Amino acid sequence: MAKKFVYIFGGGRADGSADMKNLLGGKGANLAEMASIGIPVPAGFTITTEVCTAYYENEGKYPTDLPKQVNDALKFIEEQMGSRFGNPDNPLLLSVRSGARVSMPGMMDTVLNIGLNDQTVEGMIKKTGNPRFVYDAYRRFVSMYGDVVMGVQAESKEEDPFEVIMQERKKQKGVTQDLELDEEDLKWLVKEFKAMIKQRLKVDFPEEPAEQLWGGIGAVFSSWMVPRAVSYRELHHIPGDWGTALNVQAMVFGNMGDDSATGVAFTRDPATGENYFYGEYLTNAQGEDVVAGIRTPQPINRSKPVAPDAVSLEEMMPGIYKELDDIRLKLEQHYKEMEDIEFTVQQGKLWMLQTRTGKRTAHAAIKIAHDMVQEGLITKKEAIARIDPDQLDQLLHPMFDPEAEKEVLAKGLPASPGAAVGQVVFSAEEAEELRDKGHQVILVRIETSPDDIRGMNAAEGILTARGGMTSHAAVVARGMGKCCVAGVSDINVDYSAEAFQVAGKTIKKMDWISLDGSLGEVIAGKVPTIIPKVGGDFGTIMKWVDEVRRLGVRTNADTPHDARTALEFGAEGIGLCRTEHMFFEGDRIDAVREMILSSDRQGRQKALAKILPMQRQDFEGIFRVMDGLPVTIRTLDPPLHEFLPHTDGEMEDLAAKMQVKVEAIKDKVDSLYEANPMLGHRGCRLGIIYPEITAMQARAIFEAACQVTKEGKKAVPEIMIPLVAHVNELKLQTEIVNKVAVEVMEEMKVKVDYLVGTMIELPRAAVTADRIAEVADFFSFGTNDLTQTTFGLSRDDAGKFLPDYVKLGILERDPFMVLDQDGVGLLVRMGLEKGRQTKPELKVGICGEHGGEPNSVEFCHSIGMDYVSCSPYRIPIARLAAAQAVIREKQEIQRDV
């Protein structure tokens, strides 16, 4: 028997189900599922993703058995819908749509109204009694098919050729709106469109419905590889070899008159997560009209305040609304999820076109997960597992200071929450360019299209003049976690002038504005921001998270201020306190430079003596804030040349200040020059050659710890020696630290418990970790540097080729973003295991930036680390990822059993 490539659905039955997403795509699997549970969907069938893959592997050829399976499925649709494909009297019209495993909104092609030709048009008129509607569908079909399938497209600088013919007719008739064209006009357009296609392509427009159908299927499969789809997949890490499934489905029409409508809804509010039925619809409209943002849609109900002239679906079609609301509840009960649905009402009958897991803001994700636990729909662990840790980032970034004064220029829809401040740009390309140059930008568009994806990603926020809450801009922005204010009809965008008018003002390119995506406000200038609080539902979920996770979460913090922020986010200690930043503050850089310029130990010690009290103060502040929690302090790490000026002018200034000759400074700068500073004289190599630096830092730490202890607080210093390659380096540095510790504690007559450990950030340290653990009290994996050395890849220089590496599929992800588990991770695992061989109780953590990246956190959990350390704002993400790691681990164990 041939392999099954085609899965039917409709009329209360289906071949597939929701768990077959890999084979049927998200849309197809959910259509099958809906059909199975008795929800009305127009009958149809899904061609599997395997066919797409085979199509690309075999140079556009389909499996031989496919046509037969498609024909059988067509018969099923005809039976279900009571009409026949290509039958002039009672024609069935079909849509062909893509449907990948994960949603790629608007990225691939769709062909609607397949089956229309000069014969079936008559049948449709008979069936609908609405010739204008039928000819309107026909001319839409011909232009869509001509464009998408046959490839008639505007050449550069040319206007859309279909649009040109439309304009010509409108001009002849003296009208401006499409709606003003009548049946005859539309009929004329169909003829002219076909003639233009023939003239351009030298082929006839296909009249045969079967040919139309296969043309559509081919076009949709081909659209998997169009550049914008490829870009989208890159951005969202979707492998190209997944392929797309394809859904052929009976057409239903929301534009068959006033008893017809089409809409999009979410079973809960996707922006806030509130539990009410949220959606928009348009009467007498096609589904695409709602999403495209051309007409501003109406709300489906009055659960929230709406515009005074709005007419809700509940008011307009109460029966239909009731039926839809029942389906909403049925879907939530069935999927135990917030669903994103599409529906069409055709002449008083409700059809569901799609259901899928609804995209939501981080706020909404938190609230929905929390509420569903309260409602008994899901367990706490399911709630935790359901929140995307990456998305949490949105919640943890600064929001506008509510106390700040702000000049609101206009209000629009709060399409995607957040606070964005940036300079105005009007094209996606410019947004990318300026971002690459280090600018923060706000992308302002009349409406966005799939071609704008990269620019939207580059922008801090998106502002559109048109479109609703389910418009392209809104959906994509929410998916990206970008702030978006949509449908601000009060702004008047002029692309050619690179400006927009609002409230009597002109905002030009590069002017600063602020967007409040939660309130839908467009604000003049830069509004100051504050740190968000972790409370409410979020706080509750984070409590559940902490009950589940095993891994500790610390923070990287160099100042009392950062430490305080981190504590609010739930930090359980400091995993990395860098001391070099402290060297730049205020006047201390002078003393630091004096030390570097000293030619002997005595001179250096004199300069270090000046730095000592300042460093001690820094540490006191941090110990006071962290009272009782461990504070891992790294001794000086960067090469000394980073502290010296490099331009002639700066060197002259310094010479004057230091009262030395400028040549002395230039000589020093020259002598400190390094071909590869990343692999140069830095880390513990400084403390080995200049032991007085380590001694000063140790003294500052212990004096601070003793002082704070005297004040009745508890200091828990963990001193961390960076860039150790050989155990002997750590031995020498540890001896210095221990010697100073004894001295200071004797001087101050206070005892402080402390640890001395090391960064494991060089491959040699990882492979000789058994030896290093003989000396170290703890290990902290510095995976930034470890990634650089393991790959032999400078982070500063990789930008020139690393993006291509991801594009070419050499690397799945940027290893500086997501820990490379096969390579770097192997060394981390080896280092941990060898370390614990020597010292089973060895404390092990990570303090590279991977410590706040969910996949990497899961890896750290799985190999048995004690803690991860990350920037304050990423702490909740790390906590969540740590809990999810426990949950997934248990699921895997259960699966294995």
Residue 830 C-beta: closest distance to a second copy, Å: 8
Residue among 621 and 680 whose Cβ is closer to a second copy: 680
Residue 602 C-beta: closest distance to a second copy, Å: 18
Which residues on adjacent β-strands are paired with residue 778?
Answer: 843
Annotation says 236 is catalytic: no
Residue 828 C-beta: closest distance to a second copy, Å: 11
> Taking the alpha carbons of 670, 672, 677, 680 in that order, is the dihedral positive or negative?
positive
Out of 52, 363, 370, 472, pick the active-site residue: 472
The reply on whether position 235 binds a second copy by CB under 8 A is: no
Residue 241 C-beta: closest distance to a second copy, Å: 14
Residue 680 C-beta: closest distance to a second copy, Å: 4
Sequential DSSP letters for 694-763: HHHHHHHHHHHHHHHHHTT---EEEEEE-S--SHHHHHHHHHHHHHHHHHHHHHHT-----EEEEEE-SH
The reply on whether position 822 binds a second copy by CB under 8 A is: yes
Residue among 276 and 801 whose Cβ is closer to a second copy: 801
Residue among 589 and 679 whose Cβ is closer to a second copy: 679
- Stretch 377-436 residues interacting with a second copy (CB under 8 A): none
- Cα angle 92, 94, 96 (rounded to 5 degrees) comes to 170
Taking phi over 0 as left and psi of -120 to 50 as alpha, with beta for the rest, 141 belongs to: alpha
Residue among 420 and 762 whose Cβ is closer to a second copy: 762
Sequential DSSP letters for 441-462: EEEEESS--GGGHHHHHHSSEE
The reply on whether position 794 binds a second copy by CB under 8 A is: yes
The reply on whether position 30 binds a second copy by CB under 8 A is: no
Contact between residue 478 and residue 416 where contact means Cβ atoms under 8 Å apart: yes
Residue 637 C-beta: closest distance to a second copy, Å: 12
Which of 204, 309, 796, 896 is close enough to bind a second copy by CB under 8 A? 796
Residue 848 C-beta: closest distance to a second copy, Å: 14
Residue 334 C-beta: closest distance to a second copy, Å: 42
The reply on whether position 158 binds a second copy by CB under 8 A is: no
Residue 756 C-beta: closest distance to a second copy, Å: 17
Q: Are strands 755-760 and 716-721 parallel, antiparallel or unpaired?
A: parallel
CA atoms within 13 A on the CB side of 19: 1
Residue 232 C-beta: closest distance to a second copy, Å: 22
Q: How many helices (H) and strands (E) does the chain have?
A: 34, 34
The reply on whether position 647 binds a second copy by CB under 8 A is: no
The reply on whether position 817 binds a second copy by CB under 8 A is: no
The reply on whether position 203 binds a second copy by CB under 8 A is: no
Q: What gap in Å lies between CA 489 and CA 749, rounded to an integer? A: 71
Which of 726, 784, 833, 855 is close enough to bind a second copy by CB under 8 A? 726
Amino acid identity of 761?
E
Residue among 479 and 639 whose Cβ is closer to a second copy: 639
Q: How many residues does the chain have?
A: 897
The reply on whether position 643 binds a second copy by CB under 8 A is: no
- Stretch 677-696 residues interacting with a second copy (CB under 8 A): 677-681, 683, 685, 688-689
The reply on whether position 600 binds a second copy by CB under 8 A is: no
The reply on whether position 818 binds a second copy by CB under 8 A is: no
The reply on whether position 132 binds a second copy by CB under 8 A is: no
DSSP 8-state assignment for residue 421: E
Residue 399 C-beta: closest distance to a second copy, Å: 35
Taking phi over 0 as left and psi of -120 to 50 as alpha, with beta for the rest, 348 belongs to: left
Q: What gap in Å lies between CA 481 and CA 433, rounded to an integer? A: 21
Which of 245, 419, 704, 725 is close enough to bind a second copy by CB under 8 A? 725
Contact between residue 162 and residue 143 where contact means Cβ atoms under 8 Å apart: yes
Residue 669 C-beta: closest distance to a second copy, Å: 14
Q: Total residues contacting a second copy (rule CB under 8 A)?
A: 51
HEC string of 51-105 equals HHHHHHHCCCCCCCCHHHHHHHHHHHHHHHHCCEECCCCCEECEEEEEEECCCCC
Contact between residue 473 and residue 455 where contact means Cβ atoms under 8 Å apart: no
The reply on whether position 244 binds a second copy by CB under 8 A is: no
Residue among 578 and 641 whose Cβ is closer to a second copy: 641
Residue among 560 and 645 whose Cβ is closer to a second copy: 645
Host H or E run for residue 327: helix 318-335
Which of 202, 437, 749, 800 is close enough to bind a second copy by CB under 8 A? 800
Residue among 210 and 830 whose Cβ is closer to a second copy: 830
Which of 793, 818, 863, 887 is close enough to bind a second copy by CB under 8 A? 793
Host H or E run for residue 549: none
Helices 183-201 & 161-173 angle (0-180, nearest 10):
140
Stretch that binds a second copy, among 319-327, 439-447, 519-527, 755-763 (CB under 8 A): 755-763
Annotation says 726 is catalytic: no
Please give the backbone phi and psi of residue 667, each rounded to the nearest 5 degrees, phi first. -60, -45
Which of 354, 790, 856, 869 is close enough to bind a second copy by CB under 8 A? 790
Which of 460, 820, 853, 858 is close enough to bind a second copy by CB under 8 A? 820
Tokens 């973003």 correspond to what residue? 817
Residue among 534 and 732 whose Cβ is closer to a second copy: 732
Out of 684, 847, 860, 870, pick the active-site residue: 847
Long-range contacts of 833-836 (CB under 8 A, 24+ apart): 833/769, 834/766, 834/767, 834/768, 834/769, 834/770, 834/773, 835/760, 835/769, 835/770, 835/772, 835/773, 835/776, 835/779, 836/773, 836/864
Residue among 613 and 809 whose Cβ is closer to a second copy: 809
Q: What gap in Å lies between CA 579 and CA 567, rounded to an integer? A: 20
The reply on whether position 579 binds a second copy by CB under 8 A is: no
Stretch that binds a second copy, among 209-217, 352-360, 651-659, 762-770 (CB under 8 A): 762-770
The reply on whether position 893 binds a second copy by CB under 8 A is: no
> Which residues, in sequence order, are CB contacts of 523 under 8 Å at separation 6+?
406, 407, 408, 409, 513, 514, 515, 516
Amino acid identity of 479?
G
The reply on whether position 764 binds a second copy by CB under 8 A is: yes
Q: What gap in Å lies between CA 49 and CA 99, rounded to an integer? A: 9
Residues that bind a second copy (CB under 8 A): 674-681, 683, 685, 688-689, 723, 725-726, 728-729, 732, 761-764, 767-768, 771, 785, 788-794, 796-798, 800-801, 804-805, 808-811, 820, 822-824, 826-827, 830
Positions marked catalytic: 472, 847
